Structure 1
Amino acid sequence: MSLFPKLTLGLVNGWLLLALFCLVFAVTVFTLPKPTIKRLFERSGWSRRQRIGLFIGKLFALTNLVLIIMTPLKVGHAVFWTGTAVTLVGLILFVRALIDYRNAEPGKPAMQGLYTISRNPQMVALGFIIVGCGLAVGSWTALGLVTVAHIFYYYFMIRPEETACLKLYGNVYRDYMARVPRYLLV
């Protein structure tokens, strides 16, 4: 692991794991019904402050993606195998979370499958994927950037989504919040 890895374009860089994620994400999303896709990306009630905060979080995430894309994978090292395993677990969780989201009854929040252990399993899975990629390229900077990006996402995306769900679903969602942690243990 290094704080500032050497950046270079290469065929065996972190982009391979990110390309796998993009492929899995695209295939999974394209199998979802249009109303589910619309609900998945709904941001119409967001304030200007929330949109700006989310934009800043996305800048950190984009910087992290560029870092991962430009950093060679540490093939043959323990961090590569650990990172690849964490990324694959994240991919499996991400697909499962999207399927669980798709299977939610219309007009009701997703509360089955992975949503019984986390109110935000897609974000948890995405965290696994990006942390795994950061490990696979052996970059402390990538791990730090994903942490900062997730803090912005928490404050400017997750909290507003929960407020919107409380308005939309009322006590059903309030009870769900009392039973199920936001992420895994917190």
Structure 2
Amino acid sequence: MSAVPAFEIGIWNAWILIIPYLLVNFGLPFITIDRKSTFWMWPSYTRLERICLVIGMLLMGGMWIYSIFLPLSTGTGWFYAGLFVYLLGWVFLVLAYLTFMATPVDKPNTTGIYRFSRHPWYLGMLLIYIGTGIASASWVYLLVALALLATYRSAYLIPEERMCCERFVEAYREYMDRTPRWIGIPK
């Protein structure tokens, strides 16, 4: 793994792992998820949460741009380990997406993969970024992905849970009591 990888535009760069994610995460919901779903709602943010949100968005944008110039380490152990983490991220993302589509808009997402994690969509997203960093053998990309993870609690998780508690009241509180925020990490 190198701290400063070669910067070159090429077909086998990290962008080929990021483009499918961008299309699914930012395109597909527009045609498949009901507009009344919590997917489309933005919670209210405190000042700290807004700062974390902006930092997180800047980190993501930087990662997307960096992926254009970041060669994948194809044929190496780093590539295959990263590809495994990347594909695991897709499993979480797809299962979360399917649950969102199947859940009525007046109910919280508590079935499917949401039985095991309150935020499988974000978990999948982070695994995709971390897997891309490993597959590229780039410490820089991996560290930025971990910095992005550090912003998630304040930028996404806490505000979203607060919004769901307001919208679904007791049903969501009960769900929070029995389901961890991340898979395998206690509540």
Common fold by TM > 0.5: yes
Q: Which ranges in structure 1 are unaligned for 5 or more consecutive residues?
A: none
The answer to whether the Cα contact below 8 Å between 2:43 and 2:159 also exists between their aligned partners in 1 is: no
Identity %: 29
CA change 1:44–1:128 in 2 (3 A) is closer
- Farther-moved stretch of structure 1 (102-111 vs 122-131): 102-111
Is the Cα–Cα contact under 8 Å of residues 28 and 95 in structure 1 kept in the other structure?
no
Q: C-alpha deviations, 1:42-88, integer Å up to 9, x for none?
A: 21533454333201111112222222221101011011111122212
Equivalent in the alignment of 2:17? 17
In structure 2, the residue matched to 1:182 is 181
Aligned partner letter, 1:150: L
Q: Look up the match of 1:40.
A: 39
Unaligned runs of 5+ in 2: none
Change (3 A) 1:116 1:124: same
Tell me the distance in 1 between the aligned counterparts of 2:91 and 2:153.
22
Query: Within 5 A, what are the aligned runs for 1:12-161?
Result: 12-25=12-25, 28-35=28-35, 39-43=38-42, 45-47=44-46, 49-161=48-160
The root-mean-square deviation of aligned C-alpha atoms, in Å, is: 1.9
Q: Distance in 2 between matches of 1:46 and 1:103?
A: 28
**How far 1:137 moved relative to its partner?**
0.6
Q: Which amino acid aligns with 1:18?
A: I
Query: CA distance change for structure 1 residues 152 and 9 in 2, over 3 Å: closer, same or farther?
Result: same
Q: When the two structures are superposed, what TM-score results if normalisation uses the length of structure 2? A: 0.89
Amino acid at match of 1:42: M
Task: Note if contact 2:56-2:152 (Cα within 8 Å) is conserved in structure 1.
Answer: yes
Which stretch of the first structure deviates more once superposed, 27-36 or 67-76?
27-36
Which range is displaced more, 26-35 or 157-166? Answer: 26-35
Amino acid corresponding to residue 103 of structure 1 in structure 2: A
Give 1:26 deviation, angstroms.
5.5
Number of aligned residue pairs:
185
